[in-house]
Structure 1
Amino acid sequence: MTRPQPLPPHASDPARSRGRHFPEPESPLRTAFARDRDRLIHSTAFRRLRYKTQVFVAPEQDHFRVRLTHSLEVAQIARTIARALALDEDLAEVVALAHDLGHPPFGHSGEDALQRAMAPFGGFEHNGHAIRIVTLLESRTPAYDGLNLSWEVLEGLAKHNGPVETPGWALAAQEAIWPLELRSWPGPEAQVAALADDIAYNAHDLDDGLRSGLLDLDEARAAVPLIESLWQEVARRWPQEKRASRLVPQLTRDLIGVMVESLLAETRARLAEAAPRSVEDVRAAGRALVAFSPATLQAIQPLRAYLMRAMYTHPSVKRIRLPAEQVVEELFAALHEGPRELPPRWRERLSEEGRDEPWRARIVGDYVAGMTDRFAIREHRRLTGASPIPHENRPDESYF
């Protein structure tokens, strides 16, 4: 299927995609990248993001963000930016939707724990695991393993944050089967998805932090000049509104707008300077062509520092870090030592790969990484008889 409007020469054109590892007839209704987006949305791994940590572990309240809602927000921002830059919106969207697919339960705490547990067997890295999910673990047809996504989508998943100079075992295995040119920059749509992720978590983690009561609005204004400036503008536009619950969402919207506008201006300037005549020129540019302006990077640095100091390392968040790591490490150890506790399908994979290391450990790692927060807690309790996760670790919603 061809696009209804032309793309600039530096955009990724689905009609000129490098194709799929397993050739398939084209769809008469959707471009290759739109088809990839739909395959991802229908996958089990994507649905599991509903119960995976963004900041708060297994939150009971419905209003805090989890990996799924974060991914949807990133995709919306990425699609808007791609449209403004005349790039392929579907490709930007699918990379954005899938960018967190490889995260294990409990966010970065879970990843750190799984990395330590798997260190003797090559380690663990979430981008590499995302590639394993879409090329091997997530099977929707008997015709092949994985989702059989386009080369451009796999490239975006593997290196949307930039070139990968020293790939881990999972990315190296993919590179041996179907090279993704890991040491070059990704295409422009993947670069858009990466910065859409930055925009989303900068703005929405601030929103969740204020909503939960972990962050204080006055403190945020004092610590981050950009927040103070935006707050003053919000207050000026609505002088009669005194309720923070009505003004903070507007502050979040305005913060997103500032970052998006900066990205568009800086990216257009870089594209004009580099004058890429193909998507390959973007990959070979030697630097990112999708970027924030230096002034905006400087303005948002205090926000990132404030979020790290006041939210990500807040005592109520840190309190859950060690118990979460304990759950993941003990789950891995129990299943590695007793693989009979694995579900039948995973025991079959052990038989297929053989019981030699490192494959046995990597299959166990695949299984643990796919768990949601609540399933990991439940399985850990089943296997060990106890859970170190405190039930009281549930932030309140101060704005509701």
Structure 2
Amino acid sequence: MTDKASWASTPEASRGRLHEERAATVRGGSRDAFQRDRDRIIHSTGFRRLRSKTQVFMAPDGDHFRVRLTHSLEVAQIGRTIARALGLNEDLTEALCLAHDIGHPPFGHAGEDALEAALEGLGGFDHNGHTLRTLMLLERPYPGWDGLNLTWDTLEGLAKHNGPVADPEWALAESDAAFPLALGSWPSLEAQVAALADDIAYDNHDIDDGLRAGLLSLDQLLAVPMIEAGWRKVEARFPGVSRKRLIGELIRAQIGTMVNDLIETTRARVAAARVRSVDDVRAAGEALAGFSPEMRDAERGLKRFMYANLYHHPSQLDAARAAHGVVAGLFAAYAADPMLMPEEWREALPAEEPRRSRHIADFIAGMTDRYAIRSYERVVGPVDLPEGF
């Protein structure tokens, strides 16, 4: 196993938890603080709900399409591999990867857009801020405090895994006020790696799902230089093998190429920055984890292709419009008649704005795709979903 680097995060140097936990309440043997964070995330309600939340395809009928849960597991596998190669803390990296999508509402970005519109003038909605809100407030498995009481290091990494946050929206600002997360600095390398592992996972696995759904073709994909180059190498290694059987090898090889480029480039950047500690990483003034310029440009080209040909495919846009209508309709119904919400949610409904509307949004954001559809049918009426939704 790779020795831990001096700039890796360590549980011993953690800034601790918001709520002090007495030794008598800490169970599970010799697990350290980051291992406990990972395990709390895995056992959380929000994490379980990811099994029925949209990744690319909304409420998919097929058993083999990815959802937020399987995507998060794939991100964790990639993130842990990179962390091990770089001598970072694998447990913290894994915790960040597993939790990064917990704040997504039903139907992915379509649901997020609907909640953003519903809360216009009331602070809006952002899935990353809602991840912090969920983990610090809405999850309530413990009798002594709200939230999972995760370490500062995990919360910091989730808050700013894409870099410093100059103007946090209300949910993230409230989390920061409760447990200041130094939003103006760069996060740990573990958090930077988790963000890039997310990119690597969905860049490649969404190709697999797009091909499976028939919305992408291999001939289309071969117009992308990055994919064409990888495909030629795969064909050369496995001559005579059918195209269908080579798809998986193409995706695996491409993930490996991106991972190796990220590891090599990050090592070089860390050495050039002469960092010696995780505090040096946070004070570096720039991201230290990243792709080479060539891979960065190739990855951006792949993203442009995926948006044009998969994410913005007409059938996907039709599904997104339907999903937006479901979430918007639910919010309007609950705002007009809070008695339609379950008892525990309506009893806790604040009387004043904006907390009242934000509470309703909290309820909807926790829904799975299928629960949202069933709820709409119950409180609004029939759902008009496009074929294949």
What is the TM-score with the length of structure 2 in the denominator?
A: 0.97
Alignment length, in residue pairs? 385
1:186 aligns with 2:197: no
Q: Are the equivalent residues in 2 in contact too, given 1:327–1:388 (CA < 8 A)? A: no
The amino acid of 1:95's aligned partner reads: L
Distance across 1 between alignment mates of 2:214 and 2:175: 43
Deviation of 1:23 after TM superposition, in Å, equals 1.2
Deviation of 1:29 after TM superposition, in Å, equals 1.6
Aligned to 1:332: 331
Deviation of 1:302 after TM superposition, in Å, equals 2.0
The amino acid of 1:380's aligned partner reads: Y
- 1:196-275 equivalence runs, <5 A: 196-221=197-222, 223-242=223-242, 244-275=243-274
Closer, same or farther in 2 for the Cα pair 1:63/1:144, shift >3 Å? same
1:389 aligns with 2:385: yes
Aligned to 1:397: none
Aligned to 1:12: 9
1:374 aligns with 2:375: no
Q: Are the equivalent residues in 2 in contact too, given 1:116–1:123 (CA < 8 A)? A: yes
Deviation of 1:277 after TM superposition, in Å, equals 1.7
Deviation of 1:388 after TM superposition, in Å, equals 2.3
Deviation of 1:6 after TM superposition, in Å, equals 5.7
Aligned to 1:343: 342
Distance across 2 between alignment mates of 1:5 and 1:389: 50
The amino acid of 1:283's aligned partner reads: R
Aligned to 2:319: 320
Structure 1 stretches of 4+ moved >6 Å: none
The amino acid of 1:291's aligned partner reads: G
1:136 aligns with 2:137: yes
Structure 2: tracts of 5 or more residues without a match? none
Distance across 2 between alignment mates of 1:172 and 1:299: 35
What percent identity do the matched residue pairs reach?
57
Aligned to 1:156: 157
Q: Which moved more, 1:122-131 or 1:7-16?
A: 7-16
What is the TM-score with the length of structure 1 in the denominator?
A: 0.94
Deviation of 1:7 after TM superposition, in Å, equals 2.7
Distance across 2 between alignment mates of 1:336 and 1:186: 38
1:355 aligns with 2:351: yes
RMSD: 1.3
Deviation of 1:336 after TM superposition, in Å, equals 1.3
Distance across 2 between alignment mates of 1:166 and 1:378: 36
Closer, same or farther in 2 for the Cα pair 1:31/1:216, shift >3 Å? same
Aligned to 1:398: none
Q: Are the equivalent residues in 1 in contact too, given 2:116–2:126 (CA < 8 A)? A: yes
The amino acid of 2:388's aligned partner reads: N
Query: Secondary structure in 2 aligned to 1:257?
Result: helix
Q: Are the equivalent residues in 2 in contact too, given 1:11–1:88 (CA < 8 A)? A: yes
Distance across 1 between alignment mates of 2:112 and 2:249: 33
Aligned to 2:296: 297
The amino acid of 2:227's aligned partner reads: I
Closer, same or farther in 2 for the Cα pair 1:294/1:5, shift >3 Å? closer
Distance across 2 between alignment mates of 1:8 and 1:18: 19
Deviation of 1:259 after TM superposition, in Å, equals 0.6
Deviations 1:317-366 (A, max 9, x none): 1111111111111111111121111111112322xxx3111111010000
Structure 1: tracts of 5 or more residues without a match? 395-400
Closer, same or farther in 2 for the Cα pair 1:165/1:229, shift >3 Å? same
Q: Are the equivalent residues in 2 in contact too, given 1:259–1:296 (CA < 8 A)? A: yes
Deviation of 1:245 after TM superposition, in Å, equals 2.4
Distance across 1 between alignment mates of 2:279 and 2:254: 33
Distance across 2 between alignment mates of 1:186 and 1:86: 16
Distance across 2 between alignment mates of 1:388 and 1:164: 39
Aligned to 1:82: 83
Distance across 2 between alignment mates of 1:16 and 1:78: 22
Distance across 1 between alignment mates of 2:112 and 2:264: 35
Deviation of 1:59 after TM superposition, in Å, equals 0.3
- 1:25-40 equivalence runs, <5 A: 25=23, 28-40=29-41
Q: Are the equivalent residues in 2 in contact too, given 1:82–1:88 (CA < 8 A)? A: yes
Distance across 2 between alignment mates of 1:209 and 1:61: 13
Deviation of 1:219 after TM superposition, in Å, equals 1.6
Deviation of 1:203 after TM superposition, in Å, equals 0.6
Deviations 1:152-209 (A, max 9, x none): 1101111111111100111111121110011111111000000000000101011111
Distance across 2 between alignment mates of 1:316 and 1:127: 27
Deviation of 1:284 after TM superposition, in Å, equals 1.1
Query: Secondary structure in 2 aligned to 1:121?
Result: coil
Aligned to 1:309: 308
Query: Secondary structure in 2 aligned to 1:120?
Result: coil
